[in-house]
Structure 1
Amino acid sequence: MANGFSGGCLCGAVRYSCDGDPIMAGHCHCEDCRRSSGSGHSSHLAVPEGAVTMAGATTGYSRAADSGNLVTRHFCPTCGAAVYSTNPAMSGLVFLRASSLDDLEVFKPQMHVFAGRAASWDQPGGGLPSFEKMPPGMN
């Protein structure tokens, strides 16, 4: 993926481009991600903050996540689509929503986190490593 990738919200008012590849990609089953996604989990790609160029204003909502860290979720104020989140405990990274990608094949999941909180109808699978909470060194 030498040319990077791009994405944005449902209505197109918020767009981003990223130079380079994601450094991590996974599915999170914590309560915060479940509730904010409207499904059993949320899928994210972690990229260095300096590699992402954003266009368009977002609205942020901050809350302490299951990890205890304050997570700010950024979404489009027009269509409400979630685009990315930030977490001061993982400063320097932006967590892009996989659902916001223009090319969904960019997302190559590597793990499930907070698998211990997964809903009975959305259990981790796909042969990916599953972590009860966050993997060591990631919180």
Structure 2
Amino acid sequence: MDKPFTGGCACGAIRYSIAGEPLFSNHCQCRDCQRESGSGHGSYATFARAGVTLTGDAKHWDMVADNGNVKTRGFCIQCGVAVYLTFAAQPDVFTIRAASLDEPTRYQPQAVTFAARGHDWDRLDPSLLKFDGMPPG
């Protein structure tokens, strides 16, 4: 059996364990991710929801994406750290913030999404695939 991906918030109140490999890993440069991360992008790994075990109480914040779909961000009510995202239009996936991993070196980004909204000062690996928005299904 493969080693699960584990992680959580800074204070440990929220924890996850995820069986299986990421379906997709990306740096997102959309304005929502820029604002939420306080940086030029957010870094994420998306998994099949069936493999996720989640413990702790998260506060949820819904926002509407450019395409009209609702994305829900889960963050810790104790330390305030954003840990995960879920998507109303894709209930079978669960996305974690790469920095929330216990072993962040396991994160291997595959692409940059919303690269059209990136800033010159946010230099990401030039060898990654780049998409102006989200890649096609």
Counterpart residue identity of residue 83, structure 2 = V
* Number of the residue aligned with 1:110: 110
Instruction: Give the CA deviation at 1:122.
Output: 0.8
Higher strand fraction: Structure 1 or Structure 2? 2
Number of residue equivalences: 137
Q: Distance in 2 between matches of 1:70 and 1:124?
A: 27
- Residue segments in structure 1 that go unaligned for 5+ positions in a row: none
Q: Does 1:74 align with 2:67?
A: no
* Pair 1:55-2:55 in alignment: yes
Residue matched to 1:132: 132
RMSD between aligned alpha carbons?
Answer: 1.3
Runs (5+) with no aligned partner, structure 2: none
- The separation in 2 between residues aligned to 1:70 and 1:90, in whole angstroms, is 10
User: Which residue is 1:4 aligned to?
Assistant: 4
**Conserved? CA contact 1:8–1:14, under 8 Å:** yes
**Deviations for 1:37-96, whole angstroms, at most 9, x for unmatched residues?**
111000000011110100101000001123332110000000000100011222200110
TM-score by length of 2: 0.95
Moved over 4 A (4+): none
Contact 1:49 1:92 in 2 (8 A): yes
User: Does structure 1 residue 25 correspond to structure 2 residue 25?
Assistant: yes
TM normalised by structure 1 equals 0.94
TM-fit CA distance, 1:120 = 2.2
CA contact (8 A) 1:6 1:16 kept: yes
